[in-house]
Amino acid sequence: MAPNIDPLPPSSRPLRVAVVGNGIAGLSAAWLLSQYPESYTVTLYEADEYLGGHTHTVDVPPLKEFADQVSAAPVDTGFIVCNPVTYPNLLAFLDAVQVGVTPSDMSFSVSRNHGAFEWAGDTLQTLFAQRENVLDFSENGIWRMVWDVLRFHWHAAAIADLADKVTFGAAGVTKADRARYAYHARQSIGEFLSAGNYSPSFKHNFLVPQTAAIWSTPAGTCLDEFPILTLIRFFRNHCMLQLVGRPKWLTIPLGSRSYVAKVAEHSPDVRVGHRVTQITRGTGVAQPTSLEDFPRGQVTVTDDQDGASAYDYVILATHGDISLQLLTDATPREREVLGKVRVSKNRAVLHRDPNLMLKRRETRTSTAPKPTVCVTYWMNRLQPFIPRRTHGDVFVTVNPLYEPDPSLVIQEYLYDHPVYGFDLVQAQEQLASIVNMRFTGFAGAWCNYGFHEDGVTAGLAAAAALGATPPFPVLLNGGYPTHRTLFHPVAGLPTVPSATKYLAHLGAHLLRDVVAQLRRAAPAAPAAARQHTVDLTWAQTLGALGAAAATAWRGGVVAEVQDAPMVQGEPGATVPVRSVPARAMRGLTAQALGYVQVQDTVAEAAKGIVESGEEMELVWVHPRVRIVWQASSARNVQVEAKSK
């Protein structure tokens, strides 16, 4: 159950927040802030003539013979489907805005060389739709592809387990484990396939088409630049490393524009068709103790319709490259991080031409990629509320290799997608260093895997960084469907520039219980105790303990605190109180999500610190309390709480 956290206290001067970009990230950020009208006034800027970004629903007219009998059918051309396993925040958000979902039929098929080679993943019949494939046991045959699929599932699961083990500091991690993890973290898909002796059939008929289809990425980019570890984590996250037990897919009845309309109802100042041309900011860093004394008017947003407008804070819910273009006074660090984000433009054609689907109707599934990057979605199967009898077969093809019949084209659109490579992964890891600096937040699906779940999570986090509390548990997912972290920001917490100030501004009501339990635990613990155990609620763990809250992971230990994209925990867990060196806390950028990475066992950490002669003083600073942690040996960790 989510902890109960009091809402942000009202302010006589609501914070003026500009949200630039209104895809799912911008909309979710604006929606959450709008739940607290006494604390925030929100202005939404969108360059296009519609809200939603990739949430783009189009009305498809019926066939001519039914033109006078039925109305147009809504069809989604961007975001289409989700599932309850890997989209928990999106589904909670849809529930909060009272938008329902309905079952979809998600499947995958491949066609190469104008139908010379085809397969679909529905059944054995569709897998071997081309009967000549049944006896093809060559390196390019489908049997070798099937064998390599099974081998890849086993190999990838082992790498995912290794990454899990190293990332979360499980017991027994060796130097060899760390070396293997580092090797795979630098390895591209192409390098992985070569090293594993995977067949051309598996590469060209399975893995590259899937990767290219999922991320709208050129095949060459997939092989040369896409990190295999990112791909494996995504596949594991979406239950794609297993043949059974995959999640059931869902879609939004009447199209995804339903939730966009609901969000717009909560946002009185929506500026559609207003292209922001530049953003300038004050040079100071906000260090308020409440919304009352938040510095005002430090952000100027200029658009092509109304000119310059003053705000107190801006959330850039755009792709990183666009954000960098808008910031006229971008810092060197912002340029370094945002400059690593690249996008590709992808053309989506809405049409009725069946020639862009697989030649054999039995192999037609809901998504069918062709060579290079050409993906066709059979919308009648993905969105069952589109009737074939009255509206015909409706398709969306992304980057068509050959043009559909012009008489069957309904409309076409351009969408930007992040280009996944090592640069983007590095930018994601470094994003925390620029979040909340100079009255600026960043959000977007590009902050993680690039999907709707990632966008809504980033948007909620950006709003929460200003103190707005989501009305439902927000789960952080680093690529592990069974290992999620419950995230609730501490309501009323202002934006601050460092971990020290972050902890210094925590409310006394949260620290009081922690300190009291530490005082009770310290005198009673035996002198040679390896640890003291303190029971904390999840709210106290993520709130009062801030970034060092990774100790809440049952069985985990902390040796270093870093900016990292994953943290693992369990609500109500017993927290092993461990030693954290002060140096690990210095320079951390405060954000609502205290991302941490567990690196070593406590014995290794304590031994290394003691041998180097360092005093382990944790920088949990409070106006009345200072908590000092000291270790006299690797086996003796003592805790002392002092009143200032």
The alpha carbon of 106 is separated from its chain's Cα centroid by a whole number of angstroms, namely 21
Q: Domain for residue 569, yes or no?
A: no
What are the C-alpha distances in Å from 380 to residues 73, 104, 105, 168, 197?
11, 10, 9, 43, 39
| 38 and 156 co-located in one domain | no
| 335 and 437 co-located in one domain | yes
Express as a percent the part of the chain with pLDDT over 90.
26
Confidence band for 88, pLDDT divided at 50, 70 and 90 = confident
Give the model's pLDDT for residue 279: 97
Domain boundary residue among 180, 212, 238? 238
CB contact set of 11 (below 8 Å; sequence gap of 6+)? 38, 39, 290, 291, 292
- DSSP E strands in 55-211: the ranges are 57-60, 73-76, 81-82, 102-103, 109-112, 117-120
Say whether pLDDT at 608 is over 70.
Answer: no
| Residue linked to tokens 């984000």 | 341
Q: Domain for residue 8, yes or no?
A: no
- Which residues pair with residue 103 across a beta bridge? 250
Say whether pLDDT at 40 is over 60.
Answer: yes
Q: Identify the CA nearest to 475 among candidates 93, 26, 54.
A: 93
Give the model's pLDDT for residue 536: 31
Residue 417 φ then ψ, to 5°: -130, 145
- Which residues pair with residue 637 across a beta bridge? 631
Say whether pLDDT at 453 is over 70.
Answer: yes
Average pLDDT, the chain: 69
Between 345 and 371, whose confidence is greater? 345
Q: Domain for residue 335, yes or no?
A: yes
Residue 22 is encoded by which pair of tokens? 């209104």
Exposed e or buried b for every residue in 425-450, given b needs 16+ CB within 10 A? bebbbbbbbbbbbbbbbbbbbbbbbb
Q: Domain for residue 312, yes or no?
A: yes
CB contact set of 426 (below 8 Å; sequence gap of 6+)? 340
**109-112/117-120 β-pairing:** antiparallel
Give the model's pLDDT for residue 109: 61
Q: Region 9-21: what's the mean pLDDT?
A: 80
Confidence band for 162, pLDDT divided at 50, 70 and 90 = confident
Q: 309-354 pLDDT, tens per residue? A: 999 999 999 999 999 999 999 999 999 999 999 888 888 899 999 8
| 308 and 441 co-located in one domain | yes
| 222 and 314 co-located in one domain | no
**250-251/81-82 β-pairing:** antiparallel
Range of the domain at 143: 109-238
Give the model's pLDDT for residue 407: 95
Confidence band for 169, pLDDT divided at 50, 70 and 90 = low
Q: Region 90-102: what's the mean pLDDT?
A: 91
Number of domains in the chain: 2
| 317 and 428 co-located in one domain | yes
| 204 and 142 co-located in one domain | yes
Domain boundary residue among 238, 267, 294? 238
- Which residues pair with residue 440 across a beta bridge? 314
**367-370/374-378 β-pairing:** antiparallel
- In what helix (H) or strand (E) does residue 412 lie, and over which residues does it extend? strand 409-418
| 232 and 261 co-located in one domain | no
Q: Region 283-306: what's the mean pLDDT?
A: 73
Q: 114-154 pLDDT, tens per residue? A: 555 554 554 445 444 455 555 555 666 677 888 888 899 89
Express as a percent the part of the chain with pLDDT over 70.
60
Say whether pLDDT at 579 is over 80.
Answer: no
Give the model's pLDDT for residue 392: 94
| 269 and 209 co-located in one domain | no
Q: Domain for residue 55, yes or no?
A: yes
- Range scoring the smallest mean pLDDT among 171-180, 297-306, 496-505: 496-505
Q: 467-520 pLDDT, tens per residue? A: 787 887 777 654 444 343 333 333 333 333 333 333 333 333 333 444 444 444
CATH of the domain at 334: 3.50.50.60
On the 0-12 / 13-18 / 19+ scale of CB atoms within 10 A, 137 is exposed
Between 195 and 604, whose confidence is greater? 195
Q: 392-446 pLDDT, tens per residue? A: 999 998 888 888 999 999 999 988 888 888 888 888 878 877 877 788 889 999 9
CA distance 259 to 597: 35
| 224 and 115 co-located in one domain | yes
Give the model's pLDDT for residue 544: 34
DSSP string, 426-444: HHHHHGGGTTTGGGEEE--
Q: Domain for residue 540, yes or no?
A: no
For 102, other C-beta atoms within 10 Å of its C-beta total 12
Domain boundary residue among 203, 238, 273? 238
Confidence band for 21, pLDDT divided at 50, 70 and 90 = very high
Confidence band for 111, pLDDT divided at 50, 70 and 90 = low
Say whether pLDDT at 614 is over 70.
Answer: no
Backbone CA torsion sign across 306, 308, 309, 315: positive
| 185 and 298 co-located in one domain | no
Give the model's pLDDT for residue 242: 73
Q: Identify the CA nearest to 133 among candidates 121, 147, 118, 148.
A: 118
Q: Domain for residue 536, yes or no?
A: no
Q: Region 378-390: what's the mean pLDDT?
A: 91
| 220 and 268 co-located in one domain | no
Q: How many residues does the chain have?
A: 644
On the 0-12 / 13-18 / 19+ scale of CB atoms within 10 A, 241 is middle
CA distance 426 to 337: 8
Give the model's pLDDT for residue 644: 31
| 191 and 233 co-located in one domain | yes
DSSP string, 566-587: -----TT-EEEE----GGGTTT
What are the C-alpha distances in Å from 159 to residues 116, 147, 230, 607?
34, 19, 11, 29
Q: Region 303-312: what's the mean pLDDT?
A: 94
What are the C-alpha distances in Å from 346 to residues 54, 170, 414, 488?
12, 42, 6, 36
Give the model's pLDDT for residue 110: 62
Between 554 and 525, whose confidence is greater? 525
Say whether pLDDT at 94 is over 80.
Answer: yes
Give the model's pLDDT for residue 256: 93
Q: Domain for residue 35, yes or no?
A: yes
Backbone angle region of 299, left / alpha / beta, with phi > 0 → left and psi within -120 to 50 → alpha: beta
Give the model's pLDDT for residue 433: 77
